[in-house]
Structure 1
Amino acid sequence: MKTMSHFLVQPSWRLIITDLGLNVGHVLRSAQLPADLFSREEAYLSTAQYFKLWQATEQLLGNPKDLPLRIAQSVAIESFSPLVFACMCSANLNVALKRLAEFKSLLGPMTLHVEEDETDTCARLRFCDTETPVPTMIAATELVFFTQLARTATRQMIVPSRLNLQELPSDLTPYTQYFGRPIEQGADITIAFSKADAERPFLTENSPMWQFFEPTLRKQLSELTQHSTTAEKVKSVLLELLPSGRSSMDAVAKTLAMSVRSLQRHLHSENLHFQEVLHQTRKDLAQHYLKKSHISLNEIAYLLGFHDSQSFARAFKQWQGQTPLAFRKQK
């Protein structure tokens, strides 16, 4: 799972904007993006530009509170990207989510971590730039997307077993009706499906089609990786490893398929040390959780890979010059 500072523009976004009843030119102009963005053979967006595109779409639609649901109702899921269409060819939702997790960074500034246990499969989404405010509708749209993927591919009214957002929509009623259960506030953007639903066969399974798409997706991911700094790659891996308590240089190097010495050398060429990247990643995430959520210090400590809240509090005071509670009161 890799995260880049820039990612490839998907031509299918033009179709999504059109299906929502908007003029593509007006949206691009409002987002201060090039008028020929979707016509370019290879165009890239930064995280800030990605968010601006979303914000422009929301504003031109009149800031509808049910935009994620409108997308689900008016846009064919195959319109999102070749990756999404390829995942429709998976054997089941477990396989589809793992494929999405590997290539998610092709679609935007985020990582997807998938965990399976004896009862369910949980997908956790994280946006990698914690400094840039995330438009409120993006996270809800992701939950709608995963649910729509499951329902479309199985032709069953799949109901998630758990739904969490860091900030809840102001009107939850239409979302509860769509999902079949309420969204709850939590530390991360998560969605879970029962083991039975996650293993339910996709009627759209098509192995030859996946074999057709996979080389292209891997080529795109490889090309994007070349544009990323080592620090960005390390931060991406830490976002995935921290909740499991693994934040050592050895664990990160192993995930990046390089030796510890090579990792140190690459970071040194960027005038950085591993501990600097680790501390900055933890600091950014801590500030994000304290500002944007109401989760306890114990939960934040766990998500950042600390053994207990006291260790987290001491580290935060060193970073920020004040306690986590004092920082939270200022938000």
Structure 2
Amino acid sequence: MTNGLCTVNSTTGASLADIGLSAGPVLRAAELPEDLLLSPQAPLTPEQLYRCWSAAESVAGDPALGVSPASKLSVESFQAPIFAALCSPDLKHAARRMPTDKRRPGPRTLVVEADGVGLHVPTVMPPEPEPPTSLVAYGLACWVALARLGTRTRVIPARLTMPNPPRTEVYADYLGKHIDHAPSVTVTFTPPGAQHPFLTANDAMWQVFDADPRRRLSDLDQAGATAARVRAAPLELLPAGATAAPDASRRLAMSSRTPQRRLAKEGTTFHAVLEDVRYSLARHYLARPEVSITEIAPLPGYDEPSSFYRTFHRWSGTTPKHARTETA
């Protein structure tokens, strides 16, 4: 697998909602963290991205899932690259503005002008793992949706190609044309389609967004605040007694060493983060008099109240009972 990351964020949740899906069931089915979309830029490997898409397809029970999200493409979902593209004069200019980054393992678009007037857009897919068929078709459909959203007309591409195109007629009904079988993933627009004026054109707004997609792509190598994500995981894991780094790694869909390595860069360790979460949980429940101290002990992940008492004294220099009195 190529080294690199794709990203998802809260706009992904909005896109799922647009087609009647909740993020939780999809992420659970994909064996990904349920808090994944809370991150401004959640990094995913290609395998995780494809697994997430396949899970959405399974939960929706829709083998033509690529059509639904493309047809719901809108400014309201506020995906910065799409918004910036819609500020363009036409589809040809929009294609030039769509960001690419060779480090990314996900689909990458390379814009080639056919005969200097029309538009031919090939998409480079990573060699492995093999992407879901409907995800590839979705990428093609998005170009058509972008053209239609910008022009407010039913733009029909001159040709669409991909390996193993989907057999369902749903794509042809939406695209206005069948997807042809070919080794490459491409969409081609005639000169009228490529140069049809966008009613959404806004040069002043484009100046605002000009640097943003490039900045987003430059941030892909940084995983964000790993400590914050590791702190979130034990809130569900601790009551079940899961206190080891591998437990958090699985919850965060990371390899066993990744959290430790990234936490080290942030100047902390998994043990320190876990201890901080446990202490915070203990103080939180000690402030609630309706919960007995004996009942509190398992919540930070302790089997025996005596272990909780000793550890709390080490944390705070006092007993849980005394800490509760001080809080009151």
Query: For this structure pair, what is the TM-score category when the shorter chain's length is used for normalisation?
Result: 0.5 to 0.7
- 1:32-71 alignment runs, 5 A limit: 32-62=31-61, 64-71=62-69
| Counterparts of 1:80 and 1:187, CA distance in 2 | 33
- Contact kept? 1:77, 1:149, Cα under 8 Å: no
- 1:121 corresponding residue in structure 2: 119
Bigger Rg, which one: 2
Structure 1 93/104 Cα, relative in aligned 2: closer, same or farther at 3 Å?
farther
Q: Aligned pairs, how many?
A: 221
Pair 1:202-2:201 in alignment = no
SS of match in other structure, 1:103: coil
Pair 1:16-2:15 in alignment = yes
Structure 1's consecutive aligned runs of 4 or more residues displaced over 4 angstroms after TM superposition are 104-108
Structure 1 206/67 Cα, relative in aligned 2: closer, same or farther at 3 Å?
same
How far apart are residue 105 of structure 1 and its match? Answer: 7.2
| Counterparts of 2:180 and 2:12, CA distance in 1 | 29
| Cα deviations by residue, 1:106-132 (Å, 9 ceiling, x for unpaired) | 99712111111326210001112x121
| Cα deviations by residue, 1:234-286 (Å, 9 ceiling, x for unpaired) | xxxxxxxxxxxxxxxxxxxxxxxxxxxxxxxxxxxxxxxxxxxxxxxxxxxxx
| Counterparts of 1:12 and 1:183, CA distance in 2 | 28
Mean Cα displacement is larger for which, 103-112 or 210-219?
103-112
- 1:51-130 alignment runs, 5 A limit: 51-62=50-61, 64-76=62-74, 78-79=76-77, 81-100=79-98, 102-103=99-100, 109-118=106-115, 120-128=118-126, 130=127
Structure 1 91/116 Cα, relative in aligned 2: closer, same or farther at 3 Å?
same
What TM-score do you get using the length of structure 2 for normalisation? Answer: 0.62
SS of match in other structure, 1:32: coil
Unaligned runs of 5+ in 1: 228-331
- 2:188 corresponding residue in structure 1: 192
| Cα deviations by residue, 1:163-206 (Å, 9 ceiling, x for unpaired) | 101111122x2322222222210111100001122111111001
Relative contact order (alpha carbons < 8 A, sep ≥ 6): 1 or 2 greater? 1
SS of match in other structure, 1:8: strand
Q: Structure 1 vs Structure 2: percent identity of aligned residues?
A: 32
Bigger proportion of residues as helix: 1
SS of match in other structure, 1:123: strand
Unaligned runs of 5+ in 2: 224-328
How far apart are residue 44 of structure 1 and its match? Answer: 0.9
| Counterparts of 1:79 and 1:196, CA distance in 2 | 28
SS of match in other structure, 2:111: strand
| Counterparts of 1:24 and 1:149, CA distance in 2 | 24
- 1:1-331 alignment runs, 5 A limit: 5-62=4-61, 64-76=62-74, 78-79=76-77, 81-100=79-98, 102-103=99-100, 109-118=106-115, 120-128=118-126, 130-171=127-168, 173-224=169-220
SS of match in other structure, 1:224: coil
How far apart are residue 213 of structure 1 and its match? Answer: 1.5
